[in-house]
Amino acid sequence: MKHLILVRHAKASWNNPDIADIDRQLNDTGRREVPTMGERLAAREIMPDMIVSSPAERAHHTATMLAPYMKLPSDRVEVLDEMYLADTDILLSLAQLCDNNVECLMMVGHNPGLTQLANMMTEVAVDNIPTCGMYHMRFDVDVWHNIELKTGDYVAFDFPRNQ
């Protein structure tokens, strides 16, 4: 069984229009969202073996802030340049290329790709994965290469404002 958790980066700042999109940092709301979701993920006993993140500052910061809540060492957080604003084809191919020793993979990135991928992989659709939201699915396969569209089982969907 393989588990895939899609996490959208926490809320980022739009205060400075001169900053490149990839360099935008988390705003105050974003820095509050991560501990909220980190605690919820830990309470669900979601413990990824690896986190892969977009190189965008807001995504990487979200990933590195979440890792300690799941007792994941910092060397198990990897930045993949291809994840920056990645579409569903790229995200799926990155998951399919994951090391088979990884049982639970968390991908921290961007919409619309994450929401679209979640909707393509299971029968449980969501309109939007909000900032710092997560969509968890599992696949009855032994190797990542065998995950395919609509073969995932929905496990959970949560986001900071979900009461």
Residue-by-residue pLDDT tens, the chain, 163 positions: 999 999 999 999 988 889 999 999 999 999 999 999 999 999 999 899 999 999 999 999 999 999 999 999 989 999 999 999 999 999 999 999 999 999 999 999 999 999 999 999 999 999 999 999 999 999 999 999 999 999 999 999 999 998 7
- The radius of gyration of the chain's CA atoms, rounded to the nearest angstrom, is 14
pLDDT at 17: 87
DSSP 11: P
- Superfamily name and number for 2-158: Phosphoglycerate mutase-like (3.40.50.1240)
User: Which residue, chain included where needed, has tokens 């705003």?
Assistant: 27
The CB density around residue 3, as the number of other CB atoms within 10 Å, is: 20
User: What pLDDT is attached to residue 139?
Assistant: 98
Residue 15: the pLDDT is 87
Does pTM top 0.75 for this prediction?
yes
